[in-house]
Structures are given as C-alpha cells and as structure tokens.
Amino acid sequence: MKTIAIKMRNYTGNVNIVNNNNIERRMLNTLLLSIGFLAFVYVLFLGNMVFNVVARRTMENDIRTLSKEVGDLELTYLSMSDKVDLTLSHSLGFTETKVKYATRKSLGLLNNSSPTGEPVGGLKITKNEI
C-alpha cells in the first residue's frame, strides 16, 4: 500500500490535470487594461468639466460687459427721447394732418321693418338703449 501511495504522489505531482492556459496572466492583463481605460475616461471627463467652468466664467464676463452697454444705450435713448417734441418734428418737415374718419351707410337690413312696414322674417329687433 505504501508503494502505491508513493507512486500516486509522484504521478499526481508531475501531471497537470487543469490546463488553464495562463488564465491568471489573462485576468491580470484584463484588469490592468480596464483600469487604464477607466483612468483615461476619468481624465477626459475631468478635462471637459474644467473646460466648461472656464467657458462659463468667460461668458459671465461677457454678459457683464454687454449688460453695461445695454444700460448705456438705454440711458442714451431716454435722454434723446426727451428732446423729441412738436417743434423738432416741424423742423424736420413733419406737419399735422386733418383727421378724416371713414363712414358708411347701413344697408337697411337691421331696421325693425321692411320697406313695406312689416317685420323682417318674423324677427323683431329692439333698439339697445344702453
């Protein structure tokens, strides 16, 4: 029995039953590649955020300068609008016109009666005295 146990120990020590084709090495390479890819994506997102912050600050400065310009233009407009009056318009050649209103005569369909004196279509229209 001892000889069989010694033979089995020698035999099983020399035989590689599981052939894993360097699976530990493959797993290490996969792990390192995934860590490298995630680090690249992290740097990419971080750079994008920094770029957006810088662009936002630049836009805020532009907004401040534009709002100052708008305020100045509004002030100029208000000061110029005070100068516009009737004498300025006459000096520029504008004249006042006489107002004429356009009127038309009614067609006579809204009278209480037809030309013969009878109610139109059986409808009696009362005058609104508000």
Q: Is 120 exposed, middle or buried (0-12, 13-18, 19+ CB in 10 A)?
A: middle
Residue 109 has pLDDT above 60, yes or no: no
Domain ranges of the chain: 21-100
Chain segment 8-56, per-residue pLDDT in tens: 777 776 665 666 778 889 999 999 999 999 999 999 999 999 999 999 9
Measured distance CA(93)–CA(19) in Å, rounded? 105
Chain segment 67-105, per-residue pLDDT in tens: 999 999 999 999 988 888 888 888 989 988 888 888 877
- Per the listing, tokens 């100068």 go with 83
